[in-house]
Amino acid sequence: MAKKKKTEQNEPVLAPIKDELICDILESNYMPYTMSVIISRAIPEIDGLKPAHRKLLYTMYKMGLLGGKLTKSANVVGQTMKLNPHGDAAIYETMVRLTTGNEALLHPLIESQGNFGKQYSRDMAYAASRYTEVRLDPICQELFGDINKNTVEFVDNYDGELKEPVLLPVAFPNILVNPNQGIAVGMASNICSFNLREVCNATIAFMKNENADIMDIMPAPDFPSGAQLLYSKEQMSEIYKTGRGSFKLRAVYKYDKSNNCIDILEIPYTTTSEAIISKIMELIKANKVKEISDARDETGLDGFKITLDLKRGTDPDALMLKLFKLTPLEDSFSCNFNVLIKNTPCVLGVNQIILEWVKFRMGCIKNGLKYDIDKKSERLHLLTGLKKILMDIDKAISIIRHTELEEDVVPNLMSGFDIDKLQAEYVADIKLRNLNREYILNRTADIEKLIDEIDEFTSILESDKKIKKMIEKQLDQISKKYGIDRKTVLISDDEVETYEENNYIEDYPLTIFTTREGYIKKVNAVSIRFTTNDHKLKEGDEIVSAIETTNISDILFFSNKSVVYKMKTYELNDTKISVMGDYLPGILGLEEDEKILYTVVTKDYSGMMLFSFENGKMAKVELSNYATKTNRKKLIGAYSDKSPVADIRFISEDTEIVAFADNNKVLCLNTDKIPLKSTKSTQGVQVMKLTKKGAKMCRVVEAKDSGIDDLKHYTTKNIPAAGSFLKKNTDKDKQISLFSE
């Protein structure tokens, strides 16, 4: 809000408002927040950890919890707040996901005791941090190895009081081993988990040959929840190359014949037991699944289990196929391998992630070798000076003894033995009792060993090939020590049976009746044959269409909003002529001023739709344009809305039609003159010329229903045509219209 100023006469005036471009404001105010979320919170880095994970694990490492005893989670949370200022609740929630108890990771990083909830449960709450205990899992040895040798960079924490690592020197591609999900600003990351043994072997193969097909070694992801992965090599290859794509996971079940129930033992990683049971119960209430009498969660000490009690005579395999389609028992995992590489988000394929990890790991090993060489060189340098003392110990004692000032001891030793300051200080700090030949010989005996070790380390440091050999050896050891068998089973998608609803629906002949007021009835042909009752209708209502079909058909309802609604005939309730039927606006969810103009029933989408508009245009569209691969219930743009529609009709083939204008003109033509269009919302072509201003085409009927005897008089060879005035002797009572006033 602008501030007020006081003039000399104490008159308040508004200070001028500084003009700023909105893009400049966003850049200065919003961009820093965006970058903070992307870099410092949501997107994992090449060590497979987000900053919150790394701060927590490093705190536990400094607390001595790697190989130490269990400690209360509250202690860890409190200590972590020195590095992570986001509050105890957020820190503890981060910890929960990393624990063995939560079962969210293939290789949990935190060993836990107490209730940490379950990844597969939405409602199971974890216990408070004061009740649970944790320590680092043994696999964390491979995360922190040589971290004290400057293998990774350290930076100040948020208040500058402590140091924390930018990354952890992980000895295996943890980025691929444990699943990771994060939502940033304008981008997200969703990385699935792979089997540790397969990842290590694939990385070794990749280092030997970057063109190796790692899918032969690591064919697909592996999840802690198990389940079955519907495997398509082409689909998986695309994910491996681009880092994007999706695949389907399917639950594992067994049929208990003695109790007539299905036990679901493994579910997709992306769903929960509550979501599955809730969806099943919803289907039961909607009468879409009639084979199940009860569904409950029986997870206990023996592990995960959902039990479905079946009604007598139910085919369990057929039921599960249906549930796979209708519930999260079959779910998709969408991959988005977005990783931070040197603070830059990159969507990488699996090979690229392994390449970046190898570069990172080689850097860690080189830093560790440099540290070892520096330390051993320092040690060698000191021992070399000590060796010179060995030549004349008495002289060294004499120099120290006859030096009057303490500060002159080091300079006198330097000049007396031709050694530098560091060597002299090392000699001067030796205790008097150690100034003997045996002590000095024992110390200087390490010189040759140090020289050999420095030469060896230098040789490794200068050879990428030798460093890769070290990585291969470490990966092989990790694979053998921590590797576990694959939990997720691969099933070829070509061999997987899918649920086809039509295969499980009884087909029989029936008739669909629709009324002008919007009611619909599905009446079995047998019921019609044996009934003598008249249709029960709302007062003033009447039947406008009666379409004979079967129970496996599609019904298309065209509304006055240029929308077509679709449903299956078997979705309608079987009824009788003696009942009023179902109210279409309620079934279809029509808008308040929306009404159905025309109904089409089809099994194969053959034939054509003919749309006639008040402006004299007509559009002919193949009915197959309304067929969809997915079971969509509503299609917008079903026909053009540029002019009010005068008539909608289905024609199985081209036929003679008669168009009427409100200026008493009539035009007869064959629909083969109207070109077939591929776009549903086409405006069509001009058929009837409306010469009189304000005239409009009002009705279209088939020639046989027009009530006109002399059709040749009104027939045109070419379109557009104006038509002819209706003769006075034509029986107008025979003319019918689709739309009554």
**Residue 643's CATH number:** 2.120.10.90
Q: Determine the pLDDT at residue 428.
A: 84
Residue 586 identity: G
Q: Are residues 312 and 379 in the same domain?
A: no
Domain ends where: 277, 307, 328? 328
Report the relative pairing of strands 489-492 and 228-231 from DSSP bridges.
Answer: parallel
Cα-to-chain-centroid distance, residue 570: 34
For residue 123, give the nearest of 297, 376, 286 by alpha carbon: 297
- Number of other CB atoms surrounding residue 734 within 10 Å: 11
Q: Does a structural domain hold residue 361?
A: no
CA distance 325 to 631: 12
DSSP H helices, 341-436, are 350-390, 393-402, 409-417, 421-428
Torsion of CA 442, 149, 197, 133, to 10 degrees: 100
Question: In this structure, are 466 and 512 located in the same domain?
Answer: no
Residue 614 inside a domain? The answer is yes
Identify the segments of the chain with pLDDT beneath 70: 1-18, 499-504, 530, 532, 728-741
Tell me the torsion sign for CA atoms 265, 271, 273, 279: negative
Query: How far is residue 618's CA from residue 628's CA, in Å, rounded to a whole number?
Result: 24
Count of H-run helices and E-run strands, the chain: 20, 37
Q: Give the per-residue pLDDT at 718.
A: 86
Determine the Cα–Cα distance for residues 104 and 95; give it in Å rounded to an integer: 11
Taking the C-alpha atoms of residue 595 and residue 518, their distance in angstroms, rounded to an integer, is 7
What does R_g of the chain's alpha carbons equal in angstroms? 41
Is residue 364 a part of any domain in this protein? no
Do 247 and 232 meet the contact criterion of CB atoms below 8 Å apart?
Answer: yes
Residue 303 exposed, middle or buried by CB count within 10 Å (0-12, 13-18, 19+): exposed
At 740 the pLDDT is 38
What element of type H or E holds 393?
helix 393-402
Point out which residues pair with 191 in neighbouring strands: 180
Token output for 226: 């198990």
- Domain boundary, last residue among 308, 328, 348: 328
pLDDT at 11: 64
Q: What is the CATH number of the domain that holds 278?
A: 3.30.1360.40
Structure confidence at residue 741 (pLDDT): 35
Number of domains in the chain: 5
> What local confidence, expressed as pLDDT, does residue 264 receive?
96
Q: Which of 417, 253, 217, 390 is nearest to 327 (CA)?
A: 253
Query: How many Å apart are CA 558 and CA 637, to the nearest integer?
Result: 11
Q: What is the pLDDT of residue 499?
A: 64
Helix orientation angle between 73-80 and 51-62, rounded to the nearest 10 degrees: 110
514 and 475 together in one domain: no
Q: Which residues contact 71 (CB under 8 A, 6 or more apart)?
A: 63, 65, 133, 134, 135
Residue 735, pLDDT score: 45
End-to-end CA distance of the chain: 60
Residue 409 to residue 404: CA distance in whole angstroms? 8
Cα–Cα distance, 580 to 582 (Å, whole number):
7
The closest alpha carbon to 214, from 229, 230, 203, belongs to 203
**pLDDT for the residue 32:** 84
- Strand 608-613 and strand 645-651: pairing? antiparallel
Q: What's the rounded Cα separation, in Å, for the pair 522 and 5?
A: 79
Same domain, yes or no: 616 and 731: yes
pLDDT digits (tens, 9 = 90+) for 655-686: 999 999 988 889 999 999 999 988 899 999 99
| Position 534 in a domain | yes
Q: For residues 635 and 587, state if they share a domain.
A: no
- Rounded to the nearest 10 degrees, how much is the dihedral formed by the CA atoms of 517, 522, 528, 533? -40
Q: What is the CATH number of the domain that holds 412?
A: 1.10.268.10
Give tens-digit pLDDT for 537-593.
Answer: 888 888 888 899 988 899 999 999 999 999 888 888 888 888 888 888 888 888 888
Q: How far apart are CA 461 and CA 451, in angstroms?
A: 15
Separation of alpha carbons 336 and 187, rounded Å: 10
CA distance 209 to 688: 73
CB-based contacts of 172, cutoff 8 Å, min separation 6 = 142, 196, 199, 200, 203, 474, 475, 478
Residue 18 DSSP class: P
Q: How many CB atoms lie within 10 A of CB 331?
A: 19
> Which of 269, 303, 328 marks a domain boundary?
328
Task: Clarify whether residues 70 and 160 are in a common domain.
Answer: yes
Q: Is residue 187 part of a domain?
A: no
The pLDDT of residue 86: 84
360 within domain boundaries: no
85, 140: one domain: yes
The pLDDT assigned to 234 comes to 93
Q: Which helix (H) or strand (E) holds 35?
A: helix 31-37
In this structure, are 531 and 637 located in the same domain?
no
Q: Is the pTM of this model over 0.85?
A: no
Q: Are 367 and 149 in contact (CB under 8 A)?
A: yes
What was the pLDDT predicted at 738?
36
Asked if residue 616 and residue 588 are part of one domain, the reply reads no
Q: Is there a domain that residue 191 lies in?
A: no
Residue 713 within a domain: yes
The residues that bridge with 665 in the sheet, in sequence order, are 725
Same domain for 592 and 723, yes or no, is no
Q: For tokens 């994910």, name the residue.
A: 239
Range of the domain at 427: 370-482
Going along 471-530, which residue ranges are E strands?
A: 489-492, 509-515, 519-524
Token pair, residue 490, equals 């691969």
* Same domain? 581 vs 646: no
Alpha-carbon gap, residue 221 to 196, rounded angstroms: 10
> Which residues participate in catalysis according to the annotation?
131
Whether residues 590 and 620 share a domain: the answer is no
